[in-house]
Amino acid sequence: METNVSLPATPSNPEVRTTQIPLWLKIAFTAFMAVLVPVYWTNYGPTNFLYFCDVALFITLAALWTESALLVSIAAVGIVVPQIFWCIDFSVELCGSHFTKMTSYMVDANKPLFLRSLSLFHGWLPFLLLFLVGRTGYDKRALKVWSATALVLCLISFFFLPPAGALLSNPNTPRNVDYVFGLDDARPQTLLAPALYLIAWFGVLFVVLYFPAHLALNWIYGRRLAAGTQQPVQRFTS
């Protein structure tokens, strides 16, 4: 009589995927979120959490505790490339010059230092996600899931949230969330009709940011996930 038994993940079974995300990292990230969420909510309001990067923070939080390759991959394919671009732009600002001015707020002395320090997560989150994908592997379903998520966020921001240049009672309330009205929050773009720009903007996000990230992550980490899902089988004969 033969019985098939799947062996547990152990160091002697390298073919079995083990994520091994450190507990201290899960606790540290959770503590950071416990500070960031109420501070952002108080200063910016709930719509601030509709930015791509903020959505990625919540996905990362869930991914850390579930150790889900899909959740890690969704966050990574969505924000690794744009956040690395943020790091480059911020580095230029620190050198006293300007690139896109999208990170100029980080060196604005009129803004509270504590709020600006919380925004430094833009700088370390992409590298954390690369580390996590290295542990879990890349799930190629992430491109479809994140693209659908980003499209929904763009539509919400376009139809329901303040546009670029809107005059608001609270100046900290986000406008032009996810840049659906142009790259300048002070005024909407004028090159294209708003709806046409939205379509073009999402196309740029997919072609320039999401799809290249998907190809790179799948090439580097995809095979690791595929190998890890192959469960070795031990046969016992009695």
pLDDT in tens, 162-172: 999 999 988 88
**pLDDT confidence tier of residue 238, bands split at 50, 70 and 90:** very low
Higher-scoring residue by pLDDT: 178, 230: 178
Size of the chain in residues:
238
pTM: predicted TM-score of the whole model, two decimal places = 0.85
Residue 153 to residue 222: CA distance in whole angstroms = 27
Gyration radius from the chain CA atoms:
21
| Chain mean position to CA 207 | 17
**pLDDT confidence tier of residue 229, bands split at 50, 70 and 90:** low
Domain ranges of the chain: 2-237
Q: Do residues 128 and 112 touch, judged by C-beta distance below 8 A?
A: no
Question: What H or E segment, with its residue span, contains residue 134?
Answer: helix 121-136
pLDDT in tens, 210-228: 999 999 999 999 876 666 5
